[in-house]
Amino acid sequence: MAKQAERRAATSEAILTAARRLFGTQGFAATTMDEIAEAAHVAKGAVYHHFKTKEAVFEAVFNQVSHDLVIEIDRAARTEKDVLAAMVAGTQHYFAATAKGPTGQIILRDGPAVLGWERWREIDAQHFGGKLPRAIAAAMETGLIARQPVEPLARLLLGAVTEAAVACAGRADIARAGAEYARAFKSLVEALRLRA
């Protein structure tokens, strides 16, 4: 029984690894289930056994990429002097990471279109989007910003980041646009900082 579970897990992992590479390099629309099966070295039926649709494969890949991105963001933000600076550094890293290559293709270009806006936001709230309310609450606890209801402020800031991410996704110069939006976000966050 354990061997069978290990084989199932290995097959699922092979499918996701192959799909992640294909979705990241050629995009969702250009990727077929046949290509995913071939790249994973499994039968097409095995792909459908684990994932009922190509959209289901994509959602699992999107979740993986979002999880990995948050780990990178945490690493980038960890060295900052305080939670507000960490929020800015994390958001700058988010824009930089999603401005290029497979991460940008999966998170920004295909994510909202394939998953739909609501599902994209739900998954993001489990990863990057979920970090913002905690960071704001921590900034209030440490006296960096004035106490106020956390949820409205978090939603406004997350809305700004999300809107910027969507705007970046539609630009040919996504890296430059991401850097500009990251600077604007820093201005917003720093304006919240209480001055001694």
196/186 Cα distance (integer angstroms):
19
Residue 115: partners with Cβ closer than 8 Å, 6 or more residues away: 55, 58, 59, 62, 123
Q: Is the pLDDT of residue 135 over 90?
A: yes
Share of the chain above pLDDT 70, in %: 97
Residues in the chain: 196
Helix (H, G, I), strand (E, B) or coil at 67: helix
Query: Which domains does the chain carry?
Result: 1-52 (1.10.10.60), 55-192 (1.10.357.10)
**For 7-58, what is each residue's pLDDT tens digit?**
888 899 999 999 999 999 999 999 999 999 999 999 999 999 999 999 999 9
Question: Residue type at 60?
Answer: A
Q: What is the mean pLDDT of the chain?
A: 90
